[in-house]
Structure 1
Amino acid sequence: MRFLLVLLAPLVLAACANSGTGSVPPKTVDKVNLERYQGTWYELARLPMFFQRNCAQSEAHYDLRDDGTVGVLNRCRSAEGGWQEAQGTAVPQVQGKTDKLWVSFDNWFSTLLPGVSKGEYWVLYLDDDYTTAVVGSPDYEYLWILSRTPEVTESVRDNLVDVAHGRGYDTSKLIWRTPDSKMPAE
């Protein structure tokens, strides 16, 4: 039991540190049509985070279910070319609002501590065609710049970075997707 408490202490301390900062959460979009949002999104860039530390390329697959939840399949490809997957579920944080979601993954941690292991997925920007998006967490720790295609033009890329920066995220730390041409053959 003591080992488990030591293991979980950093999570509890991080939650306490973020809860009292008084910082203003980022602005989200007004509404997300989850039917249009479903499908494949490629990660163009992200802020550094432990659970994606070995990812050279990442993608997310969203599937709207009949009960209104969203099935999530995240895939991560390492620089060596191997893929890892994580499956989960996303649900609105507030019934009827689709800009802020809770995401939980099917793993040992979420089974052990179901209320603690869910993450916040806030849609900060979404273009009218549902082809690019900026998603983050309200504590500014997590940020993903997403597209329906693995590559975008420089002007689209610059616009997405400007949006993220304008929402208060430190875009100087972004980790960009490794181009397919620099990845080993599958």
Structure 2
Amino acid sequence: MKRLLAPLLACLSPLLSACTGSPEGVAPVTGFEADRYLGTWHEVARLDHRFERGLIAVTAAYSRNPDGSIKVVNRGFDPQKCAWREAVGRAKFMADPATAHLAVSFFGPFYGGYTVFELDKEAYAWAAVAGPSRDYLWILARDPALDEGVRDRLIARARERGFPTEGLILVERELPPC
């Protein structure tokens, strides 16, 4: 079995690493300070994906793991089931920790790219994040409500980079009575 595993991993390695890249023309923020990025972020807008479909009041909380990697806890409310859903993952820097390009895994050895390409470097109050392709986009803020002007500017910058912003979902914050 071990004799088969090494060649298989060698063949899959380029495919798996392709998932950790950034979309062409989407550069990660430099001068990134991970410790300032830690804490809770509220999802303001996102492109729809099956793993978040229908969720409202979505947050992402980042903290340090003992090994220096970053613990990721994504949490959202499913109004159909009247229940919270949570996914716990791990992120690691692709290279220099001062460059906001990470690989995030929620499923064992499978990692996806996480690139912060817009960031409020003064207060770390808002960010725009891409996944490995233009099919993944999140607008995040420290507060549940982001100033509409800032939100619109981030959406415009994402559109300039080729993201299909017409498909953005503005994330609902108010929980329904259950």
Q: TM-score, structure 1 length as denominator?
A: 0.77
Per-residue deviation, residues 112-161 of structure 1 (Å, max 9, x unmatched): xx1xx211100111112100000002421100000001112221221121
Contact 1:63–1:71, Cα closer than 8 Å, also in 2? yes
Name 1:127's counterpart in structure 2: 120
Give secondary structure in 2 for the equivalent of 1:151.
coil
Q: Which amino acid aligns with 2:57?
A: Q
Give me the whole-angstrom Cα distance separating, in 1, the residues matched to 2:54 and 2:89.
Answer: 20
Instruction: Give me the whole-angstrom Cα distance separating, in 1, the residues matched to 2:118 and 2:28.
Output: 7
Partner SS, residue 163 of structure 1: helix
Aligned counterpart, 1:101:
102
Amino acid corresponding to residue 158 of structure 1 in structure 2: D
**SS of residue paired to 1:52:** coil
**What amino acid is the match of 1:152?**
L
Give ranges in structure 1 of 5+ residues lacking alignment. 1-11
Distance 2:173 2:72 in 1: 24
* Residue 31 (structure 2) aligns with: 31
Give the counterpart letter for 1:119 in structure 2: G
**Distance in 1 separating the partners of 2:147 and 2:84:** 26
Deviation at 1:95, TM superposition (A): 4.5
- 1:65 to 2:65 alignment: yes
| AA aligned opposite 2:95 | V
Name the residue aligned to 2:43.
Answer: 43
| Residue aligning to 1:9 | none
Say which structure is richer in strand: 2
Letter in 1 for 2:151: R
- Percent identical residues: 36
Task: Tell me, in whole angstroms, the C-alpha distance in 2 between the residues paired with 1:162 and 1:171.
Answer: 8
1:173 equivalent to 2:167? Answer yes
Match of 2:84 in 1: 83
Identify which of structures 1 and 2 has the higher relative contact order when contacts are C-alpha pairs closer than 8 Å and 6+ apart. Answer: 2
Q: Is 1:157 matched with 2:151? A: yes
Q: Aligned equivalents of 1:30 and 1:97: distance in 2?
A: 6
Q: Which has the higher helix share?
A: 1
**Aligned partners of 2:112 and 2:132 also within 8 Å:** no
Q: Distance in 1 between matches of 2:103 and 2:150?
A: 28
Matched letter for residue 64 of structure 1: R
CA RMSD of aligned residues (A): 2.3
